[in-house]
Amino acid sequence: MDYLSQYRKIRGLTLSLCAPLQKEDFVVQPAQNISPPKWHLAHTTWFFETFILKANMPTYQEFNTAYNFLFNSYYESVGDHAQQAGRGHFSRPTVEEIIAYREHVDRFMDLFLAEPIEEDLAETLILGLHHEQQHQELLLTDLKYILGNNPLFPPYFTAGKEPEKHHLPDDKPILMPEGIYEIGHTGEGFCFDNEMKKHKVYLQEYAIDSQLISNRDFLEFIESGGYQEFRFWHSEAWEWLKENKVNSPLYWHKINNEWQEYTLWGLHPLALQQPVCHVSYYEAAAFAAWAGMRLPTEEEWEAAADKFNWGRRWEWTGSAYLPYPGFQKREGATGEYNGKFMINQMVLRGASDATAKGHSRKTYRNFFHPAARWQYSGIRLAQTINL
C-alpha cells in the first residue's frame, strides 16, 4: 500500500473542506460538543505527531510543546488536556499558526513514510487516517451547527442547492427470517476495535423498512401533535423535550407559517421527499412509537443491510453501545479510542451525506448520547413478526 499518497490525499481533503470558510468561522464554538474548525485541523495533526513522529522518529523536532495540552482530545495516558467546552476560548494559536503546524508535521511525515514501516506502526497510521476522516465529517457537522445557529443563516456552499434524492415511501418492508446471523467485522480491511469480534446472534423473524423516514413522514408526526403527547416518549426524553422546548428536528424553522430547513446550502423550504435529518434518539424512538413500530436493533440492521440502500443518514438503532463478546481494546494510548465510551450511549449504523468517501461499512458502530442531534442522524423502522 502507498501510505504516503494515501496520507497526502486524506490530509489535503481536510484543508479543502475549510476553503469556503472566513477567518472568523475557524474559532466559533456555540455549544459544548461543537469544536471550532481550527481545533479539528490541529487535533488531527496532533494525532500523527504524537503517535507516529514523536514515538518513532528520533530526528523529529516538535513544533510547540504546549500543543499537547491544547490539542489532545481525551487521551489521559498522553497527558493533561483542555476541556472540550473551552476549545473556543483560545484566540491563539492563530489559524496561520495552525496551518504552519500542519505543514510542519506533514513535512516530517513525508520523510518518515518515504521508507517502509513495520506492520504494527502501519496499523497506527491507518487508524490515524480513519481518525482524520471521522474529523472531516465532524468538521462539516460542526460547521453546519456554527453557521446554522447564526441568525443570518449563511450558506457553506455558495452555489447551487442540496442534491435531491427521492424518497420512495411505497417500497415494501424487507422480511427477515428467524435464525442465527453472524455480526461483526471480518476480513482484511480496516475496522475499529469495537466492530470485533465476529459472533453469532439469534434473531426472531422481523421486518425492516427499505426506506428511511422522510421529512414528509416526520411532518405528519409533528402536525398530529407527536411532540405534545407524552405517551410516545421515554420519561427521560419527555423531560429533555420540556427542558429544551424542542418541537421539531434541529434546523427546522417555521417562518410565515411555512417550514424551512437550514442546510449547508442555506435556508430553504423543507424538502418533503428528503430523509429526515438531525433527530435525537429520543425523537426517533417517539416517532417509532407513534407509528406503531420500533427502531431496529443494531444486529437486525446489520443482518439486513445488504438488502436496502444505506449511507444518507446515520440511523438510530434500539441498541445500547456495549462491547461485543470477546472485545479487546488496543494496547497503549489508542486503546482509549472506543472502549471507554461504552456507557450511556446508543448505537447508530450506516453512514451519512457528510461521511468521507471510503469511510463506511455495514459493521461500523457509531455512537452518541440519546439527546445528540447535530450529526446527520435519521430513522429506519422495524417490527417483530409472529412473536
pLDDT for position 73: 85
Is residue 308 predicted with pLDDT exceeding 80? yes
Residue range of the domain that includes 121: 3-148
Is residue 199 predicted with pLDDT exceeding 80? yes
Task: Confirm whether 44 is domain-assigned.
Answer: yes
In which band, very low, low, confident or very high, does the pLDDT at 334 lie, cut at 50, 70 and 90? low
Rounded distance, CA 82 to CA 138, Å? 19
- Averaged over 236-256, what is the pLDDT? 98
Residues 224, 339 within the same domain: yes
Read off the CATH number of the domain in which 351 is found: 3.90.1580.10
Residues 245, 96 within the same domain: no
Residues 106, 183 within the same domain: no
Task: Confirm whether 270 is domain-assigned.
Answer: yes
Task: Confirm whether 31 is domain-assigned.
Answer: yes
pLDDT for position 134: 97
Residues 238, 380 within the same domain: yes
Angle, nearest 10°, between helix axes 119-148 and 3-17? 10
pTM greater than 0.85: yes
Task: Confirm whether 153 is domain-assigned.
Answer: no
Q: Are 230 and 238 in contact (CB under 8 A)?
A: yes
Residues 54, 135 within the same domain: yes
How is residue 187 written as a grid cell?
476480513
Rounded distance, CA 351 to CA 92, Å? 34
Task: Confirm whether 169 is domain-assigned.
Answer: no
Is residue 18 predicted with pLDDT exceeding 90? yes
In which band, very low, low, confident or very high, does the pLDDT at 262 lie, cut at 50, 70 and 90? very high
pLDDT for position 166: 55
Rounded distance, CA 300 to CA 252, Å? 30
pLDDT for position 74: 78
% of the chain residues with pLDDT over 70: 96
Is residue 168 predicted with pLDDT exceeding 60? no
Tally of structural domains, the chain: 2
Is residue 331 predicted with pLDDT exceeding 80? no
Residues 194, 328 within the same domain: yes
Residues 92, 10 within the same domain: yes
Nearest to 68 by CA among 77, 60, 76, 78: 78
Task: Confirm whether 164 is domain-assigned.
Answer: no
pLDDT for position 165: 64
pLDDT for position 338: 81
Residue with cell 429544551: 244
pLDDT for position 82: 81
Give me the sign of the Cα torsion angle 21, 95, 39, 107.
Answer: positive
Residues 199, 134 within the same domain: no
pLDDT for position 171: 77
Rounded distance, CA 381 to CA 345, Å? 19
